[in-house]
Chains A and B, each alone.
Chain A
Amino acid sequence: MSHVASTASIPAVQTERLAKRFARTWALQGVSLTIGTGESVCLLGPNGSGKTTLLRVLATATRPTSGQARVFGHESIDDGDAVRRRIGLLSHRTFLYGELTALENLRFAAVMYGLELDHRQLEAALADVGLDYAADHRVRGFSQGMTQRLALARATLHAPPLLLLDEPYSALDAAGLQLLDQFLIRYVGGGGTVIVVTHQVERGLAACERAIALKAGRLVFDGRSDAFRSSPEAAGVGDWTR
């Protein structure tokens, strides 16, 4: 099932009445939305609202209980492989190996993504996130900020058209935050689509044009970021302090 690369008409993300149950609770209930290519979206909501779950369904990290999710037209269950090729996930779990160096971690990721990258290209990827000085250091000794940056490098190594970020702001230091902001600007500018899950509302709204808010697994707001500030749903959605 392959799609021609005229991605302009195919939305980056499309979900239809997506629902996900975990043992005793429904994390998502009947979520339907469409996100176009090149959009930057922040996904907001209080704890337990289902925003991380939604991200994970899109990343194919978990199967929906009912409903459908499509990424660039590929269905997340039947066509999972095609979806995984097109997404990069940055989550609080770094997916890195502590005993390996930064470079070795990227080398592993590159081969797993099916890429043929040489030493220089891997080092360039490290330089992009400001970690070229730590190429031969084991990740075990990294600070949280460094780990997060390496995780970002890992998630974007294969230049995925859709980037999914789960609470990226929480572990970064000031320099890292600046790096991330610039990274996202370049990324969206280059035609990439971004979905950022965050409870730091101001930051999210500043970084993204569009805001989607969830509450108890249901969609409660879907519109422009500036419109969100004045909407009734804005209250209780998260942390309004910077």
Chain B
Amino acid sequence: MTELRRIWIVVWKDALTERRTKAAFNAMAFFAGLVLLIFAFAIGPDIPVSGPAGQGLLEYIAPGLLWVAILLTGVLALGRSFQVEMENGALEGLRLYPGDRRAIGAGKIIANVLTLVAMEALVVPIAGILYSIDLWSKLPALAGVFLLATLGFAAVGTFYAALTANLRAREVMLPLLLFPVMVPVVLAAVKATFLVLNGDLMGELSAWVRLLVVFDAVFVTVCTLAFGFVLEE
């Protein structure tokens, strides 16, 4: 029971801190929007392609672009979640409290899920507008996919962010370590997003959702359990 309280208080602290430093979150959301915009310029809105519903190229690959934008922005958010612990040496402070350190890991993961979801809530509508995607009719299914994918992202992302928090080259090392592990999530999330938006003629969606569930189950478990080792000095 104490451990649940500890998980909760870590989430509470991160949420409070995040809310009070809006500038950082705003900058991140802005960055994500900018990435989407740059993609639109790089690829161009007028290239026709025989998508299932007669979409242009941009609209057809929109799920992929969206997830790349989320991935790049998410890395910033994950890195930041431990940078706030670095000032005043709070990370060491966390290490020195008694009790199960895995609770800290779990709390951090949940807090990161919240931050990432908040960011996605802003970015997805922007993508909808820029790439002419009809999101509203598919919102529940879309939300489900995004939540599953974000959970996996937050789990491994928090893990690696904690590991690289102390390093000189952490801005490079975090994505370097994180992206290979994110490959299954990106594949599944992009596929599933595409199928939700464009229709699932052959019933493949369940396979991708299952992949996300398996990924989440494995890595939320492994990363939380390993957090005791992560937080050592």
Contact = CB atoms under 8 A, between A and B. Distances in A.
B2 A114 contact: yes
Interface in B57-99: 84, 87-90, 92-99
A112 B17 contact: no
A159 interface: no
A112 B92 contact: no
Interface residues on A, range: 20 to 34
Contact of A85 (B17, B84, B98): B98
Main secondary structure of the interface of A (DSSP, over half): loop
Contacts of B99: 81, 112-114
B90 A111 contact: no
Given A91-B89, A112-B9, A114-B2, A97 B84 contact: yes
A222 B50 CA distance: 84
A85 B94 CA distance: 13
Contacts of B21: 99
Contact of A60 (B2, B13, B96): B96
Interface string B1-37: 0100110110011001100110000000000000000
Given A97-B84, A98-B87, A114-B2, A59 B9 contact: no
Given A89-B96, A97-B84, A61 B233 contact: yes
A216 B17 CA distance: 41
List the 6 shortest-distance A-B pairs measured between CB atoms, nearest first.
A95-B93, A93-B89, A111-B9, A112-B97, A84-B98, A85-B98
Interface of B: 2, 5-6, 8-9, 12-13, 16-17, 20-21, 84, 87-90, 92-99, 232-233
14 contacts: A59-B96, A61-B96, A63-B233, A82-B98, A95-B90, A95-B92, A96-B88, A97-B84, A99-B16, A99-B20, A99-B21, A108-B9, A112-B94, A113-B99
Interface of A: 59-63, 81-82, 84-85, 89, 91, 93-100, 104, 107-109, 111-114, 138
